[in-house]
Amino acid sequence: MRACIVYDPIYLEHDTGNHPENSRRLVSIMSYLEMNGVKDKLVAVEPRPATMEELMAVHEPEYIAMVKKTAGDGGGWLDTDTVMSSLSYEAALYAAGGFIRAVTAVVRGECDSAFALVRPPGHHAVASQAMGFCLFNNMAIAAKFALAELNVRRILIVDFDVHHGNGTQDTFYDDPRVLYFSTHQYPFYPGTGWVDEVGRGEGAGATVNFPMAAGWGDDEYLVAFQEVMLPIARRFRPELILVSVGFDPHWADGLAMMQVSVSGFARMMVMLRDLADELCSGRLALTLEGGYNLDVAALSVSAIFDILLGSSQITEDSLGKAPKRAPGGFEERLDKIKAIHHILT
């Protein structure tokens, strides 16, 4: 199986200092991929900057201009969480365009799957506002591009970052062509993503949220994928699967309280890879969102590339087992979501 990687040093130029979302994330990932030989097995895809037209498919022109001006003025804080430097606008253009290139490579058959290792991340960014470390919504921009330019009619977006992808949900909330499925800690930032957020108008039913209680881990995530994501995806029959990848559900990530392991991420990816093979000729593209423990990020990206390259062998998490026991209430949550979305048991 051919797997593509999208990466460029421009992503390191989004200088956030000691902010949790910093360039050391990608340095650690790329160093590990080179050290263990995985990088040599991948097809390199050069990113390009997103065009103004591509940005405006999701974001308001005034907001784009404000981000550009802030960079031109040397950077600054866009909200209490999101900071820019002088090169952040350029990096953000290449982040959005990098994921467009990943999606294009998969749809046009340059590779079977692709992982865009980009920053800044994107899934919180809404039409007129930066949020949660995100400037432009890389996922939404690339999905809009696929619908408009690549003759893709139905897209499944899976988001397993620990935070709900409110910006991605907002973009497609009334769009029946995009099925959005998210697992995320709840209640937690940004405060959205409860089970009753299901879409609007023609998009009603095409948003599926599985809010997770703090302390749930591999077992709960895998059941959510197996018993909710898979049947809904098979009913929807996507022509392309896109994934917002966040490693902050890992038990060692200090910004959240979930108990997923590297092995858990790999098992989720096996499901997504096999689903793509089953439904859409293997067309699967991933983009990096959160995940702030450097070892977790490096190990998890490597494990995911192993899966994308065709392995089904799941190795144990070298960081050890999750230290906490999961709280109760999962079965009740599962049953409620199944009832809302008419999933037969």
Residue 124 known to be catalytic: yes
Q: How many degrees, rounded to 5, is the angle at CA 19 between CA 186 and CA 9?
A: 110
- How far, in Å, CA of 92 to CA of 142, rounded? 13
**Contact (CB, 8 A) for 345 and 338:** yes
Active-site pick, 14, 59, 123, 124:
124
* Helical (H) or strand (E) element with 335: helix 330-340
Q: How many degrees, rounded to 5, is the angle at CA 22 between CA 19 and CA 23?
A: 155
Q: Which residues contact 56 (CB under 8 A, 6 or more apart)?
A: 64
DSSP strand pairing (155-159 vs 240-245): parallel
Burial state string for 272-288 with b = 16 or more CB within 10 A and e = fewer than 16:
bbebbeebbebbbbbbb
Report cis status (omega within 30 of 0) of the bond before 327: no
Beta bridge partners of 76: 84
Catalytic residues: 124
